[in-house]
Amino acid sequence: MNYIVITYLLYLVISVGLTVWVARTLHKNGRVFLVDAFHGNEPLADSINHLLLVGFYLMNIGYVSLALKYGDKATNLEGLLEALSTKVGAVLLILGGMHFFNLYVFSKMRKRALLHGAPPPVPPQAYTPVVE
C-alpha cells in the first residue's frame, strides 16, 4: 500500500470514530438540556434529540467523505502525518462549530421559552416625582 491509501484509511477511521464519539456524547448529555428547553415534554425532547443525532451523522460523515480527496497527497511518512493532521483538524473544527451553533440555537429557544412562561410585569405601586 502506498502512503496515500494509508492516509485515507487512517483519516476515515479517526474521523468517523471522532464523529461517533462526539455524537454519542452530545446525544446523551444534551437530553437534559432539551427536556428543560421543552418544558419537561420528554417525548418531544427525545424526538428532537434523535433527529439532531441523525442530522449530525449525515452532515459530518458526508463532509468526511467529500473531504477525502482534497488536500495534499502523501508521498512519504512526513507527508502522511501532515495530510492526516490537516484533514482531521478540519473535521474537529467543523464538529466544534456545529456544536457551538446548536448550543446557540437551543439557548435562544430556551430563553424564549423561559420568557414565555414568566409572570407578567407588575405595575408600579408609586411614582418618583421629577424635580426640575
Sign (positive or negative) of CA dihedral 72, 58, 35, 121: positive
Q: What is the pLDDT of residue 16?
A: 92
% of the chain with per-residue pLDDT over 90 = 15
Which tens digits make up the pLDDT trace of 95-106?
888 888 878 887
The domain segmentation of the chain, as residue ranges, is 3-117
Q: How confident is the model at residue 120 (pLDDT cuts 50, 70, 90)?
A: confident
